Each structure stands twice: as structure tokens, then as C-alpha cells.
């Protein structure tokens, strides 16, 4: 199938099993995923082939669960998902989006994320499962300012 047949859309409850299967396949944590209120998915032939989720907090959003089916990696689908998640974060007017990563710092830097210290993360975001237990303490923290208030 061609990349043109990959559709990026808002995730629904019906997409959850496909997202969970994708996260399991890619080795991303499921712990805390139930807090992701905003999910963007990539669908191909009706099947979930990518995801990006946002956990929304008073002081920002946490980008998590960015995953792409191995057959579509390096096709641009991941970038489309990240951009769609950032667009949604702008729509709900969060001031910044945060993420944790072990190995993907250069990738997220392409989207304007910069490395920050954990102490610079708002307490509401730091209280997330992702920060408290799902990701290793050695994970890097990155932020993308959106300029919203």
C-alpha cells in the first residue's frame, strides 16, 4: 500500500485495541496510557498503523505513545502524527508539550523540542505515570513551547 493511503485522524475508542497492540509491538509502555485523552492515529486499510497521544494537564501536555508500524517507518507517518498531536495541543491552548525519550532526542528536535531539566517541568505533568514510573529516570525530558496561555 502506498503512503497516500495512510490517513491521520483523531483516535476513537474503537482504535484502542489497535493502539495497544502497536504499543506492545514497539515496546512502548502501556502503563498510564488510559490517561491519554487525545490520541491521533494513522490508519491504513482501516487498521491502526501509528499513534501519538497527549495527556492534558493544567500547565501543559505530555506527548507519549508515538509509534509507527515497522513496515511504515521512515515513511513520514511518524512526523505527520507528531505534527497532528502538536496541532491538537495548540487547539486546546496548552502552553507547552513535554515528552520523555531515551534515544529519540534528534528526531524530536526536528519538531522544535528542546532538552530541559526535569525540574523545569510543571508539577501537574511531573505527576503523570509516564514521569513517575513508566519511563526510566534516565530518560531525557524535552519541551516544545507553543506560546499559548
Give all domains of the chain, ordered by start, each with its CATH number.
3-145 (3.40.630.30)
Q: Which residues on adjacent β-strands are paired with residue 107?
A: none
pTM of model > 0.75: yes
Contact 62, 128 (CB under 8 A): yes
Asked whether the predicted pLDDT for residue 104 surpasses 90, the reply is: no
Three-class SS state of 111:
coil
Whole-number Å distance between alpha carbons of 70 and 136: 24
Q: Which helix (H) or strand (E) holds 90?
A: helix 77-91
Question: Tell me, what's the pLDDT at 17?
Answer: 92
Question: Tell me, what's the pLDDT at 137?
Answer: 72
Vertex 54, ends 121 and 17: CA angle to 5°?
A: 140
Amino acid at each position: 500500500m502506498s503512503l497516500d493511503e495512510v490517513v491521520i485522524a483523531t483516535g476513537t475508542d474503537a482504535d484502542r485495541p489497535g493502539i495497544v497492540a502497536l504499543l506492545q509491538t514497539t515496546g512502548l509502555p502501556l502503563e498510564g496510557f488510559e490517561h491519554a485523552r487525545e490520541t491521533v492515529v494513522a490508519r491504513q486499510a482501516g487498521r491502526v498503523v501509528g499513534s501519538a497521544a497527549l495527556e492534558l494537564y493544567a500547565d501543559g501536555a505530555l506527548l507519549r505513545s508515538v509509534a509507527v508500524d515497522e513496515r511504515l517507518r521512515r515513511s513520514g507517518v511518524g512526523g505527520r502524527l507528531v505534527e497532528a498531536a502538536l496541532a491538537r495541543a495548540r487547539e486546546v491552548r496548552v502552553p507547552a508539550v513535554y515528552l520523555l525519550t531515551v534515544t529519540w532526542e534528534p528526531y524530536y528536535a526536528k519538531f522544535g523540542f528542546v532538552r530541559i531539566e526535569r525540574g523545569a517541568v510543571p508539577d501537574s505533568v511531573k505527576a503523570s505515570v509516564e514521569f513517575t514510573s513508566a519511563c526510566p529516570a534516565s530518560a531525557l525530558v524535552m519541551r516544545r513551547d507553543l506560546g499559548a496561555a
